[in-house]
Amino acid sequence: SHSRRQCCVFLCASDSKDVDQTPPSIIKKSGESVDKEIRCSHSIPSYQVILWYKQDKHKALKLLGYLNNVFANLEQDVKGKINFEGDGRQQSNLTVSNLTVDDSAVYFCAASQHSAAEYHEVSTKTLQKEREQLQSASTSDSQRY
């Protein structure tokens, strides 16, 4: 019998009074994309940076990139896979293209008032101290085949 490979993407917003992430769930097939469907918004007047992170099954937290006002800065190794747009002072939409099992992860957005350059050097490290400085929300992305 022929079985169709499917990718199931579950998006769950975390509890944060100032940063919101939606929608609660999206279902996609393998090979499809999540096109600007993961949305992050914040209501913190002095914050102009939105950062996007991916936390894999090993719990390592990786910076995908950041949006400083309207200027998007993607990490080199996610270009073509990840994209986002918006305005760091208010909202950003995340795109994940050509979904595979490797895209199974928890995706976080965070708002910051700090210069985005401070976060560029920590792109492959597990962030703990930096987490404390951010107002954040998270999105869980898991896939079934």
Domain that holds residue 92: 7-141
Indicate whether 79 belongs to any domain: yes
For 27-53, what is the mean pLDDT?
89
Name residue, tokens 């579950």. Answer: 10
Q: Which residue has the higher pLDDT, 139 or 81?
A: 81
For residue 140, the model assigns a pLDDT of 60
Task: Specify if 2 maps to a domain.
Answer: no
* Nearest in space to 70 (alpha carbons), one of 98, 93, 54, 53: 93
Q: Which residue has the higher pLDDT, 74 or 9?
A: 74
Mean pLDDT score, 9-19: 57
- Cis status, amide bond into 23, omega within 30 of 0: yes
Is 75 part of any domain? yes
Domains: count for the chain: 1
Asked, for residue 62, whether it belongs to a domain, the answer is: yes
pLDDT at 50: 94
Residue 1 lies inside a defined structural domain of this protein: no
What is the average pLDDT across 45-58? 88
Predicted local distance difference test score (pLDDT) of residue 48:
94
Q: Which amino acid is at 120?
A: H
> What proportions of the chain, in percent to the nearest 5, are helix, strand and coil?
10, 45, 45
Average pLDDT over residues 68-96: 95
Q: Do the domain assignments include residue 124? A: yes
What digits encode the pLDDT tens for the residues 91-126?
A: 999 999 998 888 877 888 999 987 545 544 443 333
Supply the CATH number for residue 56's domain.
2.60.40.10
Q: Rounded mean pLDDT of 19-29? A: 76
What's the token pair of residue 17?
């009074």
Amino acid 108: pLDDT: 84
